[in-house]
Homo-oligomer: A and B are copies of this chain.
């Protein structure tokens, strides 16, 4: 197990720069984002991480599978488009030999992340969750054939309207259990789950279904854009050590990825961010 840089933490860096940064700071793993991989080129990205000897701890992200819940032809087309995009994401994860493809499953059908509610969105959160299960029944076997593990990420309930109708670890875990563990696992991201009264029971229950352990802090008060409420470990309210111990006790042997969405972190020198991240990881997370 080792510390991994999720490249969105150093958002201004390309894949090439993030790979160089990881090597420069002695990290053995990196979590990549599809947008950045596309900018660098998939083949070039594969070449860079292999030449550097880095593990790809995750590829972020597939998902957004719920728009199929819109009525009629619009729903059918959105569902087909989402499946196509996720098959491409699985293919990319296979090429990169990523430990998992993170799935942010999507919010209420028709609601766009961070945007005002549009006419014609749907409020049935239960039906949206059924759309996720339906999409997974198509994508899990496809991933399995390519040796890719899908990682269902429960998001903090604040993101339920627009980003993920999976809101708890237990819910994600229950959904994963219909598939072999090597096809579908779950993400434990401290920001999203720290408040959950069932967290420790569900981490233990998840066992080797834990496909990714991501850490960052939960800031208080949250900034106006709640998406950017993720902070450097130690700057917020999360008590990391007990969560880390529980994840390890459950049998997790993968990398620990630091994924921070934060305007100040993004404005800072990425090399300083990596240095701070390493210090805080040792002091606060372990």
**Interface residue ranges, A against B (CB under 8 Å):** 108, 111, 114-117, 121, 123-125, 129, 156-158, 160-162, 165, 167-168, 170-171, 194-197, 218, 220-222, 224, 226, 236-239
Contact = CB atoms under 8 A, between A and B. Distances in A.
User: Which of A117, A161, A222 is packed against the most chain B CB atoms within 10 Å?
Assistant: A161
B129 A238 contact: no
A197 B221 contact: no
Could you tell me the dominant secondary structure of chain A's interface residues? loop
B221 A195 contact: no
B129 A197 contact: yes
Copies in the complex: 2
A222 B161 CA distance: 10
Contacts of A116: 220-221
A161 B237 contact: yes
Given A117-B237, A125-B239, A158 B161 contact: no
A123 B160 CA distance: 25
A236 B220 CA distance: 24
B108 A237 contact: yes
A259 to B, nearest CB: 19
A116 B129 CA distance: 35
A48 to B, nearest CB: 37
A121 to B, nearest CB: 8
B167 A196 contact: yes
A69 to B, nearest CB: 12
26 contacts: A108-B237, A114-B221, A115-B221, A121-B237, A123-B237, A124-B239, A125-B194, A125-B195, A125-B239, A129-B197, A156-B157, A157-B157, A157-B195, A157-B196, A158-B158, A158-B222, A160-B195, A161-B218, A161-B220, A162-B220, A162-B221, A168-B196, A170-B197, A171-B197, A224-B224, A226-B226
A235 to B, nearest CB: 9
Nearest to A192: B157
Contacts of A160: 195
Contacts of A121: 237
A120 to B, nearest CB: 13
Contacts of A197: 129, 167-168, 170-171
A277 B138 CA distance: 44
A171 to B, nearest CB: 4
A226 B222 contact: yes
A259 B199 CA distance: 30
Contacts of A124: 239
